[in-house]
Amino acid sequence: MTEPVSSNTNNALVQKLTGPQLFDKIGRPTRIVAPMVDQSDLAWRILSRRYGATLAYTPMLHAKLFATSKKYREDNWCSLDGSEVDRPLVVQFCANDPEYLLAAAKFVEDKCDAVDLNLGCPQGIAKKGHYGSFLMEEWELVHGLINTLHENLKVPVTAKIRIFDDREKSLSYAKMVLDAGAQFLTVHGRVRDQKGQKTGLANWQTIKYLRDELPKETVFFANGNILYPEDISRCMENIGADAVMSAEGNLYNPGVFNVDHTQDKDKVFPRVDKIIREYFQIVKDCQESKASKTAMKSHFFKILRPLLPHHTDIRSDLATMNAKATWEEWEEKIVIPVEKVVEEIYQQPDIEDKDEITIGEMQAWGGSYRTVPYWRCQPYFRPVNGITGDKRVMQGLTDADMNKKRKADVPLESSGKTKEAKA
Ligand SMILES: Cc1cc2nc3c(=O)[nH]c(=O)nc-3n(C[C@H](O)[C@H](O)[C@H](O)COP(=O)(O)O)c2cc1C
């Protein structure tokens, strides 16, 4: 890691924090809301922190647009972003031009704890726009982007990368990113092609290899394969990461970060009606944030995913909503109907038995699936080619992987089916 002694910002030399200093300053967070386009919006970050997240990233912002378009900035950033209700915060940009990246970052340097460069986005739009994981072959450019922020921004620069198939190449790449000046390194343990139907499992072995081989003082975040709070501690222990980042796990269940309350199902698998109401209220309280009102529909679909097949009328109504709908329409068409149907569920005489969470057997990937009632937030296992998530996970593990994993880091003990303590 290069020494961030000082940086020349507005002709004034500013003493910059190193990664470890920054990590200390923001309270050594261990549970991170991932950057998510249209989804890690202000209101969602506030909600996620209430449920145990200790650091949050903004969605990826397009550096050139942010630097040059007032409208883009107004649509994606407001005075509450990065304010005292929204810290600690890392603002993420995608970029392929150091000048635009620096100009964009200057707009937010006083409203965040660090600025992150997205080097992981694998989507077609990133290929077309020449950013994210499509810079993985252009090390000089990546170095220049990071180094420009390292030398000219008041706050530290950080980076989020994907891995290559070849772990030695992944290590050299990570070293280059650190050498350019990145003070936190987040490693998403998937290669660029692992997206959509080919998403599959993140490779914790490669993440761990990087952790072990990089300088010990590197502030290192692991990303991928988090379904339940228990996976967070398992990930930190197995990999030796300083913190764990979650995207989809957090989106479908903000309770995934509630590691200190694993016996309290209302905190770990909150009722969907409670989360919908709470999130709706935060979005209303943050009316200045256009991004949050736009994101609400998609958040509602994800939170309500297990409930909607049982209440298709709510699904149809939600499909008709948009960011222009009034607060009253949102409340009357969605929030109140959800509350009503869940309240009815709790009127059943045998609800105590029905409202149970069961833990399945230990799986080869090192954790266990839970069975969660459909009125509670829960992880989503995407079906791929008609194969449900848990079967896919098993298929994705070759025998060799399983043996390696058993030896390397999995305390394989058969837990059988047990009932989790009730709240
Ligand atoms: C809806 C969504 C939006 C995402 N947007 C971004 C983004 O803006 N920047 C980024 O670096 N990664 C983005 N990602 C990738 C995640 O940050 C994360 O690296 C990936 O989903 C793996 O983590 P997970 O297994 O916890 O989902 C996004 C992922 C999802 C699901």
In one-letter notation, the amino acid at residue 223 is N
Establish if 25 belongs to a structural domain. yes
12-15 and 6-9: which strand pairing? antiparallel
Q: Give yes or no: residues 244 and 259 share one domain.
A: yes
Establish if 47 belongs to a structural domain. yes
Q: Which residue has the higher pLDDT, 385 or 227?
A: 227
What is d(CA 304, CA 310) in angstroms, rounded to the nearest whole number? Answer: 10
**pLDDT surpasses 80 at 333:** yes
Which residue of 41, 248, 380, 392 sits with most ligand 1 atoms within 8 Å of its CB, as the best mutation to test the pocket? 248
Q: Which residues line ligand 1 (CB under 6 A)?
A: 34-37, 39, 59-60, 92, 118, 120-121, 160, 188, 202, 223-224, 226, 246-249
**pLDDT surpasses 60 at 108:** yes
Q: How many residues does the chain have?
A: 423
Interval between CA 59 and ligand 1 midpoint (Å): 9
Query: 8 falls in which pLDDT band (50, 70, 90)?
Result: low
| Mean residue pLDDT across the chain | 89
**pLDDT surpasses 80 at 302:** yes
Nearest CA to ligand 1 atom 20: 247
Angle (nearest 5°) at CA 250 between 204 and 326 = 155
How many angstroms separate the Cα of 63 from the Cα of each of 69, 117, 158, 177? 10, 10, 15, 19
- Contact status, residue 88 vs residue 27, Cβ threshold 8 Å: yes
Q: Give yes or no: residues 377 and 322 share one domain.
A: no
Interval between CA 131 and ligand 1 midpoint (Å): 15
- Contact status, residue 164 vs residue 96, Cβ threshold 8 Å: no
Q: Give yes or no: residues 257 and 406 share one domain.
A: no
Q: Give yes or no: residues 332 and 382 share one domain.
A: no
Mean pLDDT lowest among 1-5, 117-121, 322-326, 342-346: 1-5
Query: 398 falls in which pLDDT band (50, 70, 90)?
Result: very low
Establish if 421 belongs to a structural domain. no
**pLDDT surpasses 80 at 402:** no
Q: Give yes or no: residues 167 and 315 share one domain.
A: no
Q: Give yes or no: residues 280 and 244 share one domain.
A: no
Residue range 100-114: mean pLDDT, rounded = 98
Q: Give yes or no: residues 130 and 238 share one domain.
A: yes
What is d(CA 5, CA 188) in angstroms, rounded to the nearest whole number? Answer: 28
| Number of independent structural domains in the chain | 3
Query: Can you give the pLDDT at residue 199?
Result: 87
Of the candidates 252, 257, 231, the residue with the CA atom closest to the CA atom of residue 52: 257
Enter the tokens of residue 95.
Answer: 């970029």
Query: Can you give the pLDDT at residue 7?
Result: 54
Which positions are catalytic?
121
Establish if 220 belongs to a structural domain. yes
**pLDDT surpasses 50 at 12:** no
Question: Which helix (H) or strand (E) segment is 251 a member of?
Answer: helix 248-252
Model pLDDT for residues 242-260, shown as the tens digit of each residue: 999 999 999 999 999 999 9
Q: Give yes or no: residues 26 and 128 share one domain.
A: yes
Q: Look up residue 113 and give its DSSP letter.
A: S
**pLDDT surpasses 90 at 396:** no
Q: Give yes or no: residues 57 and 18 share one domain.
A: yes
Domain boundary among 265, 291, 326: 265
Domain boundaries, position 296:
272-345
Q: Give yes or no: residues 169 and 311 share one domain.
A: no
Q: Give yes or no: residues 72 and 171 share one domain.
A: yes
Model pLDDT for residues 43-73, shown as the tens digit of each residue: 999 999 999 999 999 999 999 999 999 999 9
**pLDDT surpasses 80 at 6:** no
Q: Give yes or no: residues 259 and 282 share one domain.
A: no
Which residue of 31, 33, 37 sits with most ligand 1 atoms within 8 Å of its CB, as the best mutation to test the pocket? 37
Nearest CA to ligand 1 atom 19: 188
pTM of the predicted model as reported, rounded to 2 decimal places: 0.90
Atom of ligand 1 nearest to the CA of 118: 11
Angle (nearest 5°) at CA 94 between 249 and 157 = 85
